[in-house]
Amino acid sequence: MSKKGVSQYLNTSGSWYPNVASNVIAEAGLNYNTTYKIQSQTNQTMLNLSLGGGIFNTLFNGWQVDVSRSDIHWNSNLKLEVKRTSNGTGSIFSSISGGTIDQQVLTSNSSFFNGVGNFSNISVQYQISGFSVLIPVDTYSTTVIFTLIDN
Amino acid sequence: MRILGVLLFLVLLSKFTLAQTVASGSVGVNLTLPEIALLDIEPNNSAVSLALKAPNEAGSFVKTASNTNAKWLNYTSAVRQGQFRNVTVQIEYGSVPPGTKISLSANSPSGGGGTLGTSNGTIALSYTPQKIINLIGGAYTGNGANSGHALSYTLEVTQVADLDFNSSGTLGLIYTLIDN
């Protein structure tokens, strides 16, 4: 889903609907291991972006992608993280950097990665940690928002 | 010259333009946490022995035999908001020796975290499920002996006339972690 300017765009595809297996806890009396986490596919979400605005802009203008989340129903103990797992495809003048280490997705914008020029098929992976049997059984939903900023 | 000036102005203008959001996209993340109900007897499932001692003085009689903290009940429970569970116990097989009753009590929990259950006091074992621990929410007791609820068993003579001095037997008990 994306919102576009006249010719700028940040297209996203690939939501994530993970389930935690009920046999993760092997022994009565134990909580989830503190190191337990679930990970999405490395290419769970694909991003395509362009600043538009003509050949100069699409080739040479710098940009930044921020990430945040908007909770529908979430538990604050659950830690959602995101990282960029590929550079995608750009032009000969394009460059991309940052975002390759897991970073927590917060309800406020934080810088994710940045670059120059148009890009397609930038892959993104998620992981969730912070599990506990003290968190009520439920389906927790949030929306991850990627924002393209013209630098 | 004039054209160069205009170009320079445009370049400078572009350099001093403030960063601005030009587009955004979003994806959904839906995480489903499962219900979990695990129950275990620690340190093992071996039999608990209860034997009445012979009196050591004429005219006296030993009416009870106890085995305190003989076993520990461990559990892990993940439930929906506002949902609770309890632990019941019942005799699965065997019979209580004539003239006696066997009682069971669960202590307050030790260790773990969350909404641990509360003891239902002392109950006399029967073939009908009876609650021994109430109001377990999302909780874990910790694993092993000395974690969770200590279980104590007591054999008590209720009718001396019915006793068979040489009688003995084995009872099988079932503990169940069950939704309220």
Domain of B136: which CATH number? 2.60.40
Other C-beta atoms closer than 10 Å to the C-beta of A101 total 8
Q: What are the pLDDT digits (tens) for B15-68?
A: 444 568 789 999 999 999 999 999 999 999 999 999 988 888 888 888 999 999
pLDDT of residue B18: 52
Token pair in block for residue B107: 């202590």
Cβ contacts from A onto B, under 8 A = 185
Rounded to whole angstroms, the Cα distance separating A45 from A125 reads 7
Q: Which of A126, A145, A104, A108 is nearest to A10 (CA)?
A: A145
Give the pLDDT band of residue A144 (cuts 50, 70, 90). Answer: very high
3-state class of B109 per DSSP? Answer: coil
Q: Please check whether residue B88 lies inside any domain of the structure.
A: yes
**Residue B150, C-beta contacts closer than 8 angstroms, at least 6 positions apart:** B68, B69, B71, B72, B106, B107, B110
Cβ contact (<8 Å) for A9 and B23?
yes
Set of chain B residues whose Cβ sits within 8 Å of the Cβ of A14: 27
Cβ contact (<8 Å) for B34 and A126?
no
| CB-nearest partner of B27 from A45, A49, A147 | A45
Contact A86, A123 (CB under 8 A): yes
Provide the residue range defining the domain that includes B165: 36-43+62-179
Q: What are the pLDDT digits (tens) for A118-143?
A: 999 999 999 999 999 999 999 999 99
Rounded to whole angstroms, the Cα distance separating B135 from B156 reads 29
Cβ contact (<8 Å) for B138 and A1?
no
CA distances from A29 to A54, B75, B115 (A): 62, 4, 13
Q: What is the pLDDT along chain B (180 residues), one digit of tens a residue?
A: 454 444 444 444 444 445 687 899 999 999 999 999 999 999 999 999 999 888 888 888 889 999 999 999 999 999 999 999 999 999 999 999 989 999 999 999 999 999 999 999 999 999 999 999 999 999 999 999 999 999 999 999 999 888 887 778 899 999 999 998
Rounded to whole angstroms, the Cα distance separating A48 from B150 reads 59
Contact A102, A123 (CB under 8 A): no
Q: Please check whether residue B135 lies inside any domain of the structure.
A: yes
More confident residue, A151 or A101: A101
Q: Please check whether residue B107 lies inside any domain of the structure.
A: yes
Q: Tell me: pLDDT of A6 over 70.
A: no
| CB-nearest partner of B24 from A78, A139, A146 | A146
Cβ contact (<8 Å) for B38 and A25?
yes
**Residue A131, C-beta contacts closer than 8 angstroms, at least 6 positions apart:** A20, A24, A32, A36, A37, A78, B33
Rounded to whole angstroms, the Cα distance separating A138 from A121 reads 33
Counted domains in chain B: 1
pLDDT of residue A2: 47
Q: Please check whether residue B15 lies inside any domain of the structure.
A: no
Stated pTM of the model: 0.88
Question: Percentage of residues in chain A with pLDDT exceeding 70?
Answer: 96
Q: From edge to edge, which strands make up the β-sheet containing B130-136?
A: B118-119, B130-136, B85-93, B172-179
| B56 touching A (Cβ < 8 Å) | no
